[in-house]
């Protein structure tokens, strides 16, 4: 299916809403937008979509709890808002805004997600009962990818962000093969509603964002995964067994189709090689970090 994705539409709207898919450099990009937009204040948050069946939000610290927006009327009202929100949330809360997102090669994103969660320690203090779910990343890669309680964070996360809460994606468990095609079609139908869809692998991403925004923009490097503490180091290459590679494919199969559609628009016939390079580079990077090397 060939889709033409817009790069500058709905210019009459002044509000910009950034849909932040986890581990797609969203903190860095949000900071870049805030620096570029005069008097902009970054308002970030989460909605219900990334928590599966988890409900013990009262266990969160007050600082964490104030970033959680269970209902759309709780979401911040600013000219620029960035968050781990499902599209249904931002479309309801900000119906006239310009929507922006940046995607990452899904296999690389998934490795980054595992490594980032594995690296967290003191940061878990404010997460209450949810910290137990994050600590699941301290086990093997196979266990991390097989756990249905955290499927909301590991299973085709971009697709879920676009279609939640359709197809059972508000619950624990993975998107079934029976529902996969319908889920993908529903996600694909949402993409044209974005004014801009960038790719993290695009070396011209900052220029593309600057052109769209109409003002210079520089993307800093923020919130990157750090080297592991000794007690959670692990040999990534040993973790990349045939079983885990099959699970990586399964957990990214829908997101990879979406990423590839956007990538073909940007890279043409080079899209496949860009994807393979991104995954290879992620393996190299996270082998070093997960092994505890700086």
DSSP calls for 198-228? EETT-TTHHHHHHHHHTS-------SPPPPP
pLDDT of residue 40: 62
Domain boundaries, the chain: 16-290
pLDDT of residue 35: 87
Kindly report the pTM of this predicted structure: 0.93
Q: Which CATH architecture has domain 16-290?
A: 3-Layer(aba) Sandwich (3.40)
191-204: b or e for each residue (b if 16 or more CB lie within 10 Å)?
A: beebbbbbbbbbee
Q: CB under 8 Å to 145, separation ≥6 — which residues?
A: 110, 154, 244, 247, 248, 250, 251
Alpha-carbon distance of 73 to 93, in angstroms, equals 7
pLDDT of residue 44: 78
pLDDT of residue 153: 96
Structure tokens at 236: 């990534």
pLDDT of residue 7: 37
> Does residue 112 contact residue 286 with C-beta atoms inside 8 Å?
yes
pLDDT of residue 169: 67
How distant, in Å, are the alpha carbons of 41, 106, 280 from that of 249?
38, 9, 14
pLDDT of residue 224: 81
Alpha-carbon distance of 293 to 67, in angstroms, equals 33
Report residues of the chain scoring pLDDT below 50: 1-12
pLDDT of residue 62: 96
Alpha-carbon distance of 170 to 164, in angstroms, equals 6
pLDDT of residue 13: 56
């Amino acid at each position: 299916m060939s889709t033409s994705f817009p790069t500058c539409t709905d210019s009459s709207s002044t509000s910009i809403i950034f849909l932040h898919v986890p581990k797609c450099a969203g903190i860095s990009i949000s900071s870049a937008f805030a620096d570029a937009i005069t008097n902009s204040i970054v308002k970030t948050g989460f909605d219900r979509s990334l928590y599966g069946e988890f409900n013990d939000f009262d266990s969160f610290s007050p600082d964490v709890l104030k970033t959680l927006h269970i209902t759309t009327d709780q979401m911040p009202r600013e000219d620029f808002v960035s968050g781990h929100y499902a599209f249904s949330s931002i479309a309801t809360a900000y119906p006239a805004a310009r929507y922006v997102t940046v995607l990452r090669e899904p296999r690389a994103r998934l490795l980054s997600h595992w490594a980032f969660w594995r690296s967290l320690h003191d940061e878990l203090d404010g997460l209450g009962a949810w910290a137990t779910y994050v600590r699941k990343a301290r086990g093997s890669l196979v266990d991390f990818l097989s756990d249905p309680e955290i499927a909301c964070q590991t299973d085709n996360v971009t697709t879920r962000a676009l279609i939640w809460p359709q197809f059972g994606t508000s619950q624990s468990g993975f998107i079934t093969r029976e529902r996969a095609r319908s889920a993908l079609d529903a996600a694909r139908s949402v993409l044209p509603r974005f004014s801009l869809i960038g790719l993290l692998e695009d070396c011209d991403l900052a220029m593309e964002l600057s052109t769209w925004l109409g003002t210079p923009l520089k993307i800093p490097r923020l919130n990157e995964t750090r080297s592991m503490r000794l007690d959670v180091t692990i040999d990534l290459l040993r973790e990349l067994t045939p079983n885990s590679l099959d699970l990586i494919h399964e957990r990214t199969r829908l997101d990879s189709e979406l990423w590839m559609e956007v990538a073909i628009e940007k890279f043409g016939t080079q899209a496949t090689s860009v994807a393979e390079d991104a995954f290879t580079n992620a393996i190299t990077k996270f082998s070093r970090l997960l092994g505890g090397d700086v």
